[in-house]
């Protein structure tokens, strides 16, 4: 592959796929470079909700290949390996990756986020043996046993609803007194006969040797239940306690915001000439798939303008 492009998109989630699609349609030679299967978080979501045109939701494994095919048909090229470093030499950005070096005048960083880990004993040992971030991948293997979902936000409740189709019981353990998920998830989860909630509680250990046998929990700090711990029996633990932005590539070149995200202007331009941010890795991201796709569109259009006229603010 000739390694010089007009635009390189780093990240193949919905923001990156859309950026690549729009950029290729504008006639720019475009590479989408991603470290994992194309689709990012959406790929593992059983029913993506709130995506326009899909009133009953759409599975990630349906939407993502469609977006990938659309970008390929428009002329976007693909490379799969992690981008390890991003440097700038004059007017050209250079990417060092596991599959070689690439260069472009415009780079769109759409590296998204990773789900946070609990950081408790047993979690690393039992990852893939009952500790999971992916309800749609692992729920069919549950065989009607009880499971725990950790977290009180949108992801935790959405995935608890997916798990409840396969488990005998889903216990949602969350640290706050109240759930923070949007109303539609709260209402449906509360009405579900196989979902129950344990509030103001945190997981302190995952118990088991070759498989998950249970979780040890205690009252979250600030609660009134004392220091005691108790064990909940479970065959799997699904962890949804927030997201960590994948912005390390830029951490020594840009000041990230207080959440670790990349500051951008309304055209997705960063403070570095020719460099754009899009999707959930950018400051102020809305956290919805359609917004990430919108960011990708804006970034691709702005990159096209930049390549045409060379204008950059500041
Ligand atoms: C459990 C869960 C359920 C959700 N449900 C919904 C829903 O129903 N509806 C909705 O609208 N939204 C939902 N969301 C939010 C939605 O998934 C995100 O808004 C969307 O995926 C963001 O897309 P993105 O492209 O910005 O990032 P991501 O999806 O995170 O994709 C980023 C991509 O970049 C790649 N990458 C990272 N670092 C590098 C690197 N150094 N080099 C190369 N590639 C790299 C990653 O491998 C990944 O493929 C959900 C999120 C979660 C976690």
Dihedral, 291, 50, 37, 295 alpha carbons, nearest 10: -10
Cα separation of 91 and 244, whole Å? 31
pLDDT value of residue 51:
95
Q: Where are the domains of the chain?
A: 4-114+243-309, 117-239
Measured CA distances, 92 to 86, 89, 295 (Å): 11, 5, 23
Instruction: Give me ligand 1 centre to Cα 116, in Å.
Output: 13
Helix, strand, coil: what percent of the chain each, to 5?
25, 30, 45
What is the pLDDT averaged over residues 129-157? Answer: 92
**Atom number, ligand 1, closest to the C-alpha of residue 51:** 11
Q: Which pLDDT score is estimated for 224?
A: 56
Q: Which residue has the least CA distance to atom 20 on ligand 1?
A: 289
Question: Rounded mean pLDDT of the chain?
Answer: 94
pLDDT of residue 208 exceeding 70: yes
Would you say domain 4-114+243-309 falls under CATH 3.50.50.60?
Answer: yes
CA–centroid distance, 18 to ligand 1, in Å, is 12
Q: Indicate yes or no: pTM above 0.85.
A: yes
Q: Which architecture does CATH list for 117-239?
A: 3-Layer(bba) Sandwich (3.50)
Pocket perturbation via mutation, ligand 1, pick of 10, 13, 51, 157 by most ligand atoms within 8 A of CB: 13
Rounded mean pLDDT, 8-15: 98
* pLDDT score at 102: 96
For residues 161-189, give the mean pLDDT. Answer: 95
- What lines the ligand 1 site, CB under 6 Å? 10-16, 33-36, 40-42, 45, 48-51, 82-83, 110-113, 155, 158-159, 240, 246, 249, 279-280, 287-290, 292
Strand partners, 295: none
Most confident of 96-100, 157-161, 220-224: 157-161
Residue 144: its pLDDT value, please? 87
Q: Quote the pLDDT of residue 226.
A: 55
Count of alpha carbons within 13 angstroms of residue 242, beta-carbon side: 8
Name the closest-CA residue to atom 48, ligand 1.
40
Find the angle CA(240)-CA(248)-CA(91) to the nearest 5 degrees.
Answer: 140
Q: How confident is the model at residue 142 (pLDDT cuts 50, 70, 90)?
A: confident
263: which DSSP letter? P
pLDDT at 169 over 90: yes
Residue 222 CB neighbour total at 10 angstroms: 9
Is the pLDDT confidence value at 222 over 80? no
Same fold for the pair 4-114+243-309 and 117-239: yes
Nearest CA to ligand 1 atom 3: 155
More confident residue, 143 or 261: 261
Tens-place pLDDT, residues 191-205: 999 999 999 999 999
Q: Which atom of ligand 1 is nearest to the CA of 114?
A: 30
Average pLDDT over residues 283-291: 96
The confidence band for 59, taking pLDDT boundaries of 50, 70 and 90, is very high
Rounded to the nearest whole angstrom, what is the distance from the C-alpha of residue 34 to the centroid of ligand 1?
A: 12
Between the CA atoms of 39, 45, 51 and 55, what dihedral angle is there, to the nearest 10 degrees? 140
The total of other beta-carbon atoms located within 10 Å of residue 270's CB is 22
């Amino acid at each position: 592959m000739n390694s010089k492009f007009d635009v390189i998109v780093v990240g193949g989630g919905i923001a990156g796929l859309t950026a690549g699609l729009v950029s290729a349609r504008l006639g720019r030679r475009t590479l989408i470079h991603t470290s994992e299967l194309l689709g990012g978080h959406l790929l593992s979501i059983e029913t993506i909700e709130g995506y326009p045109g899909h009133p009953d939701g759409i599975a990630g494994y349906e939407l993502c290949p469609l977006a990938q095919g659309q970008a390929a048909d428009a002329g976007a090229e693909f490379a799969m390996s992690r981008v390890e470093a991003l440097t700038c030499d004059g007017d050209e950005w250079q990417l060092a990756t596991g599959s070689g070096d690439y260069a472009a005048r415009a780079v769109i960083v759409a590296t998204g986020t990773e789900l946070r880990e609990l950081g408790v004993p047993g979690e690393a040992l039992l990852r893939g043996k009952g500790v999971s971030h992916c309800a749609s991948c692992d729920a069919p293997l549950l065989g009607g046993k009880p499971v725990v979902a950790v977290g009180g936000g949108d992801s935790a409740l959405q995935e608890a609803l997916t798990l409840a189709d396969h488990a005998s019981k889903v216990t949602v353990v969350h640290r706050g007194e109240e759930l923070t998920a949007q109303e539609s998830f709260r209402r449906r989860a509360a009405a579900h006969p196989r979902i129950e909630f344990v509030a103001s509680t945190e997981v302190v250990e995952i118990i088991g040797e070759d498989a998950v046998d249970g979780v040890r929990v205690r009252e979250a700090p600030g609660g009134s239940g004392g220091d005691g711990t108790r064990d909940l029996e479970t065959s799997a633990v699904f962890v949804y306690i927030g997201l960590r932005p994948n912005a390390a590539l830029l951490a020594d070149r840009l000041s990230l915001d207080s959440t670790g995200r990349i500051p951008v202007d309304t055209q997705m331009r960063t403070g570095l000439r020719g460099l754009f941010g899009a999707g959930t890795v950018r400051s102020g991201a809305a956290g919805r798939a359609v917004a990430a796709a919108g960011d990708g569109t804006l970034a691709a259009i702005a990159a096209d303008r930049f390549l045409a006229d060379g204008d950059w603010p500041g």
